[in-house]
């Protein structure tokens, strides 16, 4: 033995791991440790993968319309088979443009339930019936069970989706054309039954159908192809406006939860200049119960007053009345103005050029005696693009002053028809002042000073037939205050006459009813002229609503920008005497009067009425009428549209509005992971780890220490 060799200590028999007779178990031990380590690593990877999967978001792809999302309860609805609706495209331009949608499914695409036009072997149906569009849908989410088109005006907000089904939009209830094959069904009591399935057509849609720009091969084929199309001119789209179009279609078998439904969206623009909203309103009242006028007299303070509004949509587009208010005495109200048929004007939609008349009554409205009250109505209309227009109009109600009695400071004499005092009785005539049926004082020719107290009396006389007498203030008679000086009465043949004598000024009440006949069908307050600059006939009916005769002392006519002038009929009217309740008509024509296209003119006539025998006692009354030119109102042309697809895999769109854009094809969106259980590889890893651990334990058992042999 080499002296430098180190002597190792003897091994202990009980140390079985280092026993030289058991070197093979040392290898097994190493294998065991490695297997257990690999098993632990596999278990760790599986656990890590499971936790990662549990924390992932729901795995739902967003479709070409941007759904599902969290913008509303409906917006979270998952479309199980969005590929049912394959593409959307616009063909043509102007009024002939069409929106076409291509759908395909292995069990056909449904046109409708309960009465929809059945497929009869002919691959085309124009204006087909969609069946009962109000039927409760077999679709669990309540989506329409027919080809449904939804429209959102995005002119003011390009990202708007308010018209989508998910946002509560209303679908179209028609389809202009259907090509290819389709299926129909019946729905009763929640039971859905599909009609017979036609023969597959493999995208052969028939004569008159369209071909998408991308080609049918790019859309895929499950056997049953269908094209649904809508004429743009029937959708009410406006020039200069942009729209989002959403279309959804159902398959025919309804075999998924809620059925297999697809949706597709696109944007299009209708070229042209957008219309602007405009509206007019004319307000009148009938406080005097003599007809509606801008200004009228109430019978007493606090009287109820009827009002009338004439609203005209003077724009070339439909407008919705979004606000109607009335303001007076520092307060603003929302009057419930209704048409003769009971329809409310507020929130109603007015077609281009439409004229609507509505009325409402305000109780206790008439002002205190001797005062007037003017109120203003304001109307606001809104078009489909969110643009607004407003107009206002005023109306005045007058309450006459109280009648104050005055004392008589002199004598009242019987006078002849010329106003001269008679010194002797007229053919045995007499003069008497009566209060009701009681004669206060009587005399053959005069009533002495202060003999008649203040008040209203009947002056009675007997005279030869045709003789006229006057109660006149001559010979030292004075009547204090603003009073009537005399009252004329004509004695009829063979009898006696009487007249009322007031010791205070008599309030005069006059009214004018102004109308025109611009449309040639009869006189009205607001008429529509058929051409610009046409002659317009006018009519003014002047009525004396006073208790005494009046004389028409002036008559004039004017409109904005025009100096008041006397119409031709004034020659026959001015100077005419009107008895209480009597009327006189003034007809005249204004040449070249009707305004420019789409505009209106308000013409006002004004008359002065004076008491027959007291010209200082007078009143002025006026009334207006409106003429609107409609030569271009109601003409709406759709000049074309420009399509901007939301999602597409086809070539870029062509800018020209006469060339269609490519057919959008639904592209798969990135898929987010969702916890639906660990993937298969994690289970494999677990199995391998358990197997290695089992093998390790078995090897440990085989390598356990045994008693040493002798």
Query: Who wins on pLDDT, 334 or 413?
Result: 334
Q: Determine how many CB atoms are found less than 10 A away from the CB of residue 341.
A: 6
421-478 pLDDT, tens digit per residue, is: 555 443 344 555 555 556 655 665 555 443 445 455 555 554 443 334 444 443 333 3
| Of 680 and 332, more confident | 332
Greater confidence (299 vs 35) lies with 299
* Closest by CA position to 359, among listed 344, 327, 337: 337
Say yes or no: 50 and 99 in one domain: no
Judge whether 486 lies within some domain: yes
Q: What is the DSSP string of 250-289?
A: EBSS--STT--EEEEEEEEE--SPPP---EEEEEEE-TTS
Which residue, chain included where needed, has tokens 């005279």?
Answer: 463
Does residue 27 carry a pLDDT above 80?
Answer: no
Please tell me whether residues 557 and 481 are part of one structural domain: no
Can you give the pTM of this predicted structure? 0.44
Q: Are residues 615 and 683 in the same domain?
A: no
Token pair recorded at residue 475: 């010979």
The answer to whether residues 191 and 269 belong to one domain is yes
Q: Rounded to a whole number, what is the distance in angstroms from the first to the last CA of the chain? A: 29
Least confident of 654-658, 670-674, 677-681: 654-658
- Two tokens, residue 376: 């203003």
What's the mean pLDDT in 293-307? Answer: 93
Instruction: Answer yes or no: is pLDDT of 342 > 80.
Output: yes
Position 631 pLDDT exceeds 90: no
Residues 709, 620 share a domain: no
Q: Quick one: pLDDT at residue 564?
A: 94
HSE-up of 320 (CA within 13 Å, CB side)?
8
Q: Do 227 and 85 share a structural domain?
A: yes
Backbone torsions φ then ψ of 687, nearest 5 degrees: -60, -45
| Whether residues 141 and 247 fall in one domain | yes
List pLDDT tens digits, range 8-19: 444 444 433 344
Structure tokens at 196: 């017979």
CA distance 688 to 671: 30
Instruction: Indicate the Cα dihedral angle 27, 30, 32, 36, nearest 10°.
Output: -170
- The length of the chain is 710
563-572: pLDDT as tens digits:
999 999 999 9
The number of distinct structural domains making up the chain is 4
DSSP bridge pairs for 434: 439, 458
Residue 127 has pLDDT above 50, yes or no: yes
Q: Measuring CA to CA, how many Å separate 236 from each of 46, 158, 351?
A: 60, 19, 12
Q: Which residue has the tokens 């007058």?
A: 398
Q: So what's the pLDDT on residue 135?
A: 76
Please, what is the Cα angle at 255 between 253 and 259, to 5 degrees? 85
The answer to whether the CB of 383 falls within 8 A of the CB of 275 is yes
pLDDT of residue 630: 74
Residue range of the domain that includes 579: 507-635
**pLDDT tops 50 at residue 21:** no
Residue 511 lies in a domain: yes
Shared domain check, 446 and 531: no
- Position 586 scores a pLDDT of 96
Do the domain assignments include residue 349? Answer: no
Please state the separation of Cα 419 from the chain's center in Å: 67
Whole-number Å distance between alpha carbons of 601 and 609: 26
CA 441, CA 439: separation in Å to the nearest integer?
Answer: 6
Q: Is 319 exposed, middle or buried (0-12, 13-18, 19+ CB in 10 A)?
A: buried
The pLDDT of residue 547 is 76
Q: If you average pLDDT over residues 269-282, what whole number do you get?
A: 88
Q: How many CA atoms lie within 13 A of 150 on its CB side?
A: 23
**187-214: pLDDT as tens digits:** 888 788 889 889 999 999 999 999 999 9
Which whole number is the average pLDDT over 632-645?
37
**133 near 66, Cβ under 8 Å?**
no
Residue 410 — very low, low, confident or very high, per pLDDT cuts 50/70/90?
A: very low
Q: Which residues contact 293 (CB under 8 A, 6 or more apart)?
A: 284, 285, 286, 511, 512, 513, 621, 622, 623
The answer, yes or no, to whether the previous bond of 68 is cis (omega within 30 of 0) is yes
Amino acid 672: pLDDT? 36
Q: Would you say residue 398 lies in a domain? A: no
Q: Whole-angstrom Cα distance, residue 102 to residue 275?
A: 33
Residue 327 forms part of a structural domain:
no
Q: Is the pLDDT of residue 662 over 50?
A: no
Checking if the pLDDT of 343 tops 90, the result is yes
Question: Is the model's pLDDT at 481 over the cut of 50?
Answer: no
Lowest mean pLDDT of 55-59, 68-72, 163-167, 225-229, name the range.
Answer: 55-59
In a domain, 333, yes or no: no
Tell whether 52 and 110 lie within a shared domain: no
Q: What's the mean per-residue pLDDT of the chain?
A: 76
Question: Which of these, 266, 233, 235, 269, lies nearest to 101 by C-alpha position?
Answer: 266
- 286 has pLDDT over 90: yes
- Whether the CB-CB separation of 625 and 557 falls below 8 Å is answered with no
Q: What tens digit of pLDDT does each residue of 499-552 get?
A: 444 444 567 899 999 999 999 999 999 999 989 999 999 999 999 998 778 899
The strands making up 536-544's β-sheet, listed across from edge to edge, are 510-516, 536-544, 583-590
Q: What is the 3-state secondary structure (H, E, C) of 10-67?
A: CCCCCCCCCCHHHHHHHHHHHHHHHHHHHHHHHHHHHHHHHHHHHCCCCCCCCCCCCC
Q: According to the per-residue pLDDT averaged within each range, which of 234-243, 326-335, 626-635, 683-692 is highest?
A: 326-335
- 540 lies in the same domain as 626: yes
Identify how many contiguous H helices and E strands the chain contains and give both numbers.
3, 37
Two structure tokens written together for 223: 């056997």
Residues 679 and 131 sit within 8 Å (Cβ to Cβ)? no
Cα(639)–Cα(690) distance, rounded to whole angstroms?
74
Torsion of CA 195, 201, 207, 213, to 10 degrees: 120
**Cα→Cα distances 702→9, 29, 36, Å:** 28, 10, 16
Residue 402 confidence class, pLDDT cut points 50, 70, 90: low
- Which residue among 501, 522, 550 closes a domain? 501
Long-range Cβ contact pairs of 21-27 (< 8 A, separation 24 or more)? 22/703, 25/702, 25/703
3-class SS at 166? helix
Whether residues 36 and 79 fall in one domain: no
Largest interatomic CA distance in the chain? 192
Does residue 304 lie in a domain region? no
Q: Which of the pair, 659 or 342, is modelled with greater confidence?
A: 342
Is residue 301 included in any domain, yes or no?
A: no
CA distances for 343 relative to 74, 315, 340, 523, 572, angstroms: 34, 22, 8, 24, 43
Top pLDDT among 267 and 637 is at 267
pLDDT at 254: 66
Instruction: Please tell me the least confidently modeled range out of 17-26, 587-596, 634-643.
Output: 634-643
Same domain as 135, residue 12: no
Q: Can you give the pLDDT at residue 472? A: 46
Rounded average pLDDT over 677-704: 65
State the residue for tokens 């006389």. Answer: 461
Beta carbons of 222 and 104 less than 8 angstroms apart: yes
């Amino acid at each position: 033995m080499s002296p430098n060799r180190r002597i190792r200590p003897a091994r202990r028999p009980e140390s079985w791991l280092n026993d030289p007779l058991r070197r093979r178990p040392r290898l097994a031990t190493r294998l065991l440790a490695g297997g257990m380590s690999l098993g632990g690593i596999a278990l760790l990877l599986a656990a890590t993968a499971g936790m990662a999967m549990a924390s992932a978001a729901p795995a739902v792809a967003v479709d070409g319309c941007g759904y599902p999302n969290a913008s509303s309860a409906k917006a979270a609805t998952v479309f199980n088979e969005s590929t049912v609706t394959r593409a959307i495209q616009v063909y043509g331009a102007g009024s002939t443009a069409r929106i076409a949608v291509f759908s395909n499914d292995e069990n056909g695409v449904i046109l409708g339930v309960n009465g929809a036009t059945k497929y009869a072997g002919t691959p085309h149906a124009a204006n087909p019936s969609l069946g009962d569009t109000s039927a409760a849908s077999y679709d669990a989410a309540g989506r329409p069970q027919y080809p449904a088109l939804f429209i959102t005006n995005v002119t003011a907000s390009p990202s708007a989706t308010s018209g989508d089904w998910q946002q509560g939009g209303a679908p179209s209830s028609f389809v202009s054309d259907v090509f290819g094959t389709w299926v129909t069904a019946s729905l009763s009591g929640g039971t859905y039954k599909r009609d017979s399935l036609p023969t597959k057509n493999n995208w052969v849609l028939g004569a008159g159908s369209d071909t998408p720009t991308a080609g049918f091969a790019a859309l895929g084929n499950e056997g049953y192809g269908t094209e649904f199309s809508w004429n743009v001119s029937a959708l009410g789209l406006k020039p200069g406006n942009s729209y989002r179009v959403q279309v959804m279609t159902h398959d025919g078998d309804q075999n998924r939860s809620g059925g297999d439904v697809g949706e597709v969206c696109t944007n299009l623009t209708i070229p042209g200049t957008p219309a602007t909203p405009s509206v007019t309103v004319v307000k009148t009242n009938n406080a005097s119960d003599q007809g509606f006028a801008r200004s009228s007299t109430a019978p007493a303070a606090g009287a109820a007053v009827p009002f009338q509004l004439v609203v005209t949509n003077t724009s070339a587009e439909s407008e919705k009345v979004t606000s109607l208010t009335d303001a007076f005495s520092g307060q603003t109200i929302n009057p419930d103005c209704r048409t003769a048929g009971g329809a409310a004007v507020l929130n109603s939609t007015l077609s281009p050029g439409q004229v609507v008349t509505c009325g409402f009554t305000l109780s206790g409205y008439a002002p205190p005696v001797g005062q007037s009250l003017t109120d203003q109505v304001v109307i606001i209309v809104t078009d489909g693009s969110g643009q607004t227009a407003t107009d206002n109009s005023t109306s005045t109600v007058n309450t006459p002053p109280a009648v104050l009695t005055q004392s008589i400071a002199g004598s009242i004499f019987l006078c002849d028809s010329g106003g001269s005092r008679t010194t002797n009785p007229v053919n045995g005539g007499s003069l008497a002042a009566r209060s009701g049926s009681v004669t206060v004082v009587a005399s053959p020719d005069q009533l002495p000073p202060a003999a008649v107290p203040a008040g209203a009396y009947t002056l009675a006389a007997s005279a030869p037939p045709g003789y006229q007498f006057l109660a006149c203030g001559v010979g030292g008679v004075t009547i204090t205050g603003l009073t009537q000086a005399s009252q004329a009465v004509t004695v009829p043949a063979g009898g006696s006459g009487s007249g009322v004598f007031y010791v205070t000024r008599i309030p005069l009440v006059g009214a004018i009813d102004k109308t025109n006949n611009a449309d040639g069908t009869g006189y009205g307050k607001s008429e529509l002229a058929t051409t610009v600059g046409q002659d317009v006939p006018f009519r003014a009916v002047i009525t004396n609503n006073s208790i005494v005769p009046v004389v028409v002392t002036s008559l004039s006519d004017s409109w904005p920008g025009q100096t008041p002038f006397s119409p031709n009929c004034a020659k026959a009217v001015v100077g005419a005497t009107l008895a209480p309740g009597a009327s006189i008509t003034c007809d005249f024509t204004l040449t070249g009067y009707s305004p420019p296209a789409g505009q209106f003119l308000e013409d006002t006539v004004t008359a002065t009425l004076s008491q027959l025998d007291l010209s200082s006692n007078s009143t002025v009354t006026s009334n207006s009428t409106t003429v609107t030119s409609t030569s271009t109102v109601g003409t709406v042309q759709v000049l074309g549209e420009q399509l901007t697809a939301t999602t597409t895999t086809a070539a870029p769109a062509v800018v020209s509005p006469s060339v269609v854009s490519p057919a959008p094809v639904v592209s798969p969106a990135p898929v987010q992971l969702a916890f639906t259980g660990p993937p298969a590889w994690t289970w494999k890893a677990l199995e391998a780890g358990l197997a290695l651990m089992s093998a390790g334990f078995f090897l440990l058992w085989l390598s356990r220490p045994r008693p040493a042999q002798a």
